[in-house]
Chains A and B, each alone.
Chain A
Amino acid sequence: MRYVIPLLLALACIPLLSPPDYFLHLGVTVLLTAVAGTGWAMMGRYGLVSFGHGAFLGIGAYTMALLWNMAGLTPWVGIPIAVILAALAGVLLGYPCFRLKVVGHYFALVTLAAGEIVRILIVALRDHTGGSLGMTPDRVPPDQGLLAMQFDKSGFWWLALLAWAIGLLAWWLLDRSMASKALAAISEDEEAAASIGIRVTREKLRVTLISTALAALAGTLMAQYRMYLNPESLAGLGISLQIVFGAIAGGMYAPLGPTVGAIITIGLEEVLRIAFGTEFTGGAPLIYGILLVLFMIYLPRGIVGIVERKRRSAAAPLGLPVGAK
């Protein structure tokens, strides 16, 4: 983690060099995708594989946007409320799951159902949310932009960077804590972990709380940055699987893994879009899909996973195989 603080400072200086808007746009998108992926990976790496994290992006984004449009509550206040609400929803779903030992495939499919419920609810509440057509937060004149969290790309660059830093900080704190060891034990064998006094439900709930809060934070900022919300890009199976793919491709066991994954997924999308234009719609998911399969077969620990393994095995050639799990 030593390299993170200089990296953050360097990234924070980038808008001062007045780079092209397109670069900032990609950067903001990558950073926010990385926050969602980091949030997902905090559960995913302990075997709590959620196929419904899109739901929390959606709950967060729509709560914030509806508070703004209907009550005029600024996103500066709306985002914390939205994040808390989404995290509560995560706990509400998680508690019975963990309590009643819904694990593995069953957990993945319950979260998938939850994600779909949120997507369909957004569509069904079309009087307020605009349904499948989506909604736009009300715009304000530029001089009130700061209060309404509506500003140019460099402003969002710093916000996204802050969110990203929060994600990494959460990861780092979790990694250093006993909770991380407890969760690792739980993911190996839940009953054995419980037998040595680990409070399985509580540990799982805590990590769910952090994970869903990060996802919601990413969702609110994405919506506020794009100034557009729609149920397909903020809830449901498609976006949930994309979050998972990003985290897996980069490597979900390393703090910067999901970020690398976000660079890969967003980069791939952009390269395909520029290279083939609209002629090649469908090309991106096609190549995503092939890569995801190849990653699962050949590199289940992701790109960062390989780098770390190389480094560690160079440092300790006689050690146990790192990451043999």
Chain B
Amino acid sequence: MDSFLLEALVNGILLGGVFALPALGLNLVFGVVDVVWLCYAELVMVGMYAVWFLYTQAGWPLWVAFAACLPVVSVLGLLLHLLVVRPLLAAPPINQVLATGGVLFLLQGAMTLIFRTDFRSLGVDMPPMEVGEIFVSGTKLAAFCAALVGAALLWAFLKFTYVGTAIRAIARDREVMPLMGVDPQRIYLIASAVGGALAGLAACLLVVQLDVHPFVGLSFGPITFMICVMGGLGNMLGGFLAAFIMGIIVSVGGFWGTTEFSYVVAFGFFIVTIFARPRGLFAR
């Protein structure tokens, strides 16, 4: 195979790893709370600002800034749930989505007020690595590995802890679980916090690859939603796999055409997929 194509393919897989985290977070929240966080990419954006601020302005070591970003966004997820989602739990789904859409504007506006619209760069880069015939960006590889570790930790949490089991149970049947002594409100809170933490982790991985500005969420937000829908809303494994499919389409598409056309192809693929499998590629 052409080594450039191979490189595009590898980059696509690496990109998929980065898409996978927010997709997992969104699916977790949707699966458990049954609400789409339309502002999810904006939570990631706030996390990116947190890392940027702590590292370049407050002078914290990078890994401390990364470690601080997770709880910050996690708390943001909790607040989002308590202040916006909880009062709307009984409302029609569309009202819930629109309210979180309001939070999208709110966060964009707040960050514009605080940090202006300038593009902020972390200025951290790792040298590219040569693997066989192809070059792989060190930052992207590191981000990919971190994403896989994050996904594995999430899986272990859901699989082996008591709370994780309760989360999976609530996602499976929200009528019966309260009868079994699981307090859904508490589970919603935990899922929102974990969903927020995943956005925080995604922020750490993205901030080394992208410049931060208040509208950066719009550049990866839509594709994240499409990945979730393609994998089946609430289906974590489906979303995880769909992230790689989308990553490869975007990357390989960019190899043949411009970046924009690769996104057009990816979004078009998404629409066709939904027509073919309206409940997602991996619907049971």
Q: Taking beta carbons and an 8 Å cutoff, which residues of A are in contact with B?
A: 47, 49, 51, 93, 96-97, 100-102, 104-106, 108-110, 112-114, 116-117, 120-121, 123-124, 236-238, 241, 244-245, 248, 280-293, 295-297, 300, 325
Whether the Cβ atoms of B106 and A113 lie closer than 8 Å is no
Whether the Cβ atoms of B109 and A284 lie closer than 8 Å is yes
Whether the Cβ atoms of A292 and B229 lie closer than 8 Å is no
CB pairs A–B below 8 angstroms (10 shown): A104-B94, A105-B233, A108-B94, A124-B264, A237-B218, A280-B113, A289-B103, A292-B101, A293-B84, A296-B99
A288 to B96, CA, bound (A): 16
Whether the Cβ atoms of B91 and A109 lie closer than 8 Å is no
**Sample of 5 further A-B pairs with CB below 8 A, known A51-B101, A105-B229:** A49-B94, A121-B264, A283-B109, A289-B106, A300-B91
Chain B residue with Cβ nearest A290: B106
Give the distance to chain A from B28, nearest Cβ to Cβ, in Å: 15
Asked whether B67 is an interface residue with its Cβ less than 8 Å from the other chain, the reply is no
A110 to B116, CA, bound (A): 32
Q: Contacting B222 at CB < 8 Å: which of A113, A121, A293?
A: A113
A192 to B263, CA, bound (A): 39
Chain A residue with Cβ nearest B114: A282
Give the distance to chain A from B229, nearest Cβ to Cβ, in Å: 5
Asked whether B278 is an interface residue with its Cβ less than 8 Å from the other chain, the reply is yes
Contacts of A121 in B (CB 8 A): 260, 264
Query: How many A-B contacts are there with CB distance less than 8 Å?
Result: 153
Chain B residue with Cβ nearest A294: B102
Whether the Cβ atoms of B98 and A112 lie closer than 8 Å is no
Contacts of A295 in B (CB 8 A): 102
Asked whether B271 is an interface residue with its Cβ less than 8 Å from the other chain, the reply is yes
Give the distance to chain A from B284, nearest Cβ to Cβ, in Å: 16
Q: Contacting A238 at CB < 8 Å: which of B84, B117, B218?
A: B218
A102 to B107, CA, bound (A): 30
Chain B residue with Cβ nearest A95: B275
A285 to B112, CA, bound (A): 9
Given contacts A113-B226, A297-B99, contact A241 B104 (CB under 8 A): yes
Give the distance to chain B from A238, nearest Cβ to Cβ, in Å: 7
Give the distance to chain B from A296, nearest Cβ to Cβ, in Å: 4
Give the distance to chain A from B138, nearest Cβ to Cβ, in Å: 29
Given contacts A49-B94, A291-B102, contact A281 B117 (CB under 8 A): yes
Whether the Cβ atoms of B91 and A286 lie closer than 8 Å is no
A297 to B97, CA, bound (A): 12
Contacts of A300 in B (CB 8 A): 91-92, 95
Determine which residue in B92, B112, B267 has the highest number of CB atoms from chain A within 10 A of its CB, and name it. Answer: B267
Chain B residue with Cβ nearest A124: B260
A283 to B116, CA, bound (A): 11
Given contacts A100-B275, A120-B260, contact A244 B103 (CB under 8 A): no
7 closest A-B pairs by CB: A282-B112, A289-B106, A292-B102, A286-B109, A289-B105, A285-B109, A124-B260
A241 to B105, CA, bound (A): 9
| Residues from 178 to 230 in B contacting A, C-beta threshold 8 Å | 214-215, 218, 221-222, 225-226, 228-229
